[in-house]
Amino acid sequence: FGQAFPEPIFDGEFKVLHQKLVGEKHLKLMLEPLYKGHPTNVMIDGIAFNVDLRRWPDASVKTVRLAYKLDVNEFRGNQSLQLMIDHIEAK
């Protein structure tokens, strides 16, 4: 992506390993991508901004379908992959 090309949006299913509110309305997730419904043993952070607090966080949700963009999270000099979640749907 770059000039005249929008950032790509991906979609996929993920197992929810952990979820918590950060700030006032942001949902931070630890996720495991699912491949054909099976775990991958890979952990990825995700964040969804301005979530509906009547729905999230929800400890009963174990799997989600996401629309997301890829991002690099920089914290204390460390870089890691992070999903910037545009849409989250409980499965």
Tokens 């749907």, located at residue = 89
B/e letters for 37-73, b = 16+ CB within 10 Å, e = fewer, are: eeeeeeebbbbbeebeeeebbeeebeebebebeeeee
Q: Is residue 5 part of a domain?
A: no
Q: Cβ(27)–Cβ(87) under 8 Å?
A: no
The model's pTM: 0.88
**Domain holding 49: CATH number?**
2.40.50.460
Range of the domain at 75: 10-90
Q: Is residue 74 part of a domain?
A: yes
CA distance 65 to 48: 13
Q: Is residue 3 part of a domain?
A: no
Q: Is residue 1 part of a domain?
A: no
- Which of 58, 26, 29 lies closest to 45 in space, CA to CA? 29
> How many structural domains compose the chain?
1
Q: pLDDT tens digit string along 68-89?
A: 999 998 989 999 999 999 999 9
Q: pLDDT tens digit string along 9-57?
A: 999 999 999 999 999 999 999 999 999 888 899 999 999 999 999 999 9
Q: Is residue 60 part of a domain?
A: yes
